[in-house]
Chains A and B, each alone.
Chain A
Amino acid sequence: DAMVIQNPRYQVTQFGKPVTLSCSQTLNHNVMYWYQQKSSQAPKLLFHYYDKDFNNEADTPDNFQSRRPNTSFCFLDIRSPGLGDAAMYLCATSPRGGMTNYGYTFGSGTRLTVV
């Protein structure tokens, strides 16, 4: 089945130690998104890739970076995680931007704990 896969499901990292979260997709979608979801809150968009074009949200901290080496993979890098970065990180995909009625396909998320 075509899907969005996030690895790992649970990640524990130390305060200040760089961490990378992974997302892959078999849907061949052009657009990939990273959302941060803190406890009992709505998902908040960090950034997205439209093909190779990177689109950062204005309020996304510099501590968060992303890479998309090819269509199938996208990575979220947190350079120096703080306690406030503990959250669920959700990856999502959608077809080319013109299909605005499609909605997204989400992965199962990575729960990040910072100790």
Chain B
Amino acid sequence: AQSVTQLGSHVSVSEGALVLLRCNYSSSVPPYLFWYVQYPNQGLQLLLKYTSAATLVKGINGFEAEFKKSETSFHLTKPSAHMSDAAEYFCAVTEITGGGNKLTFGTGTQLKVEL
């Protein structure tokens, strides 16, 4: 079964600094990978997705992620953090089942942005 591991349950950066949130995947087949963001008491919003086209994926709000097969990684980055980026971020992988695809989430990384 496919799975993802997010390293670091809490990450703190200064406003304007680089954001790096780590995600490693485990999959026996080429995976489809996603990053979602969740603001307090809200649902999950899709930031970006990797679907075996370009390995560098650009998403909303200035975020991007690079798929590295050799490292089984799909880390999320943003060059310059903004206060509004403070939220929880989930990496996810699609698992194909007979009853439809299923998203399996990592345990999440809480991003804090400080002045």
Contact = CB atoms under 8 A, between A and B. Distances in A.
A103 B49 contact: yes
Contact of B44 (A50, A55, A97, A106): A106
Interface residues of A, number: 32
Interface of B: 32, 34, 36, 41-46, 49, 51-52, 90, 92, 94, 96-97, 99-108, 110
A109 B107 contact: no
Interface of A: 4, 6, 9, 30-31, 33, 40-43, 45, 48, 50, 53, 55, 88, 90, 92, 94, 96-97, 99-101, 103-109, 111
13 contacts: A31-B101, A42-B105, A42-B108, A50-B99, A50-B100, A90-B43, A101-B32, A101-B94, A103-B103, A104-B46, A106-B36, A106-B43, A109-B43
Nearest to B51: A101
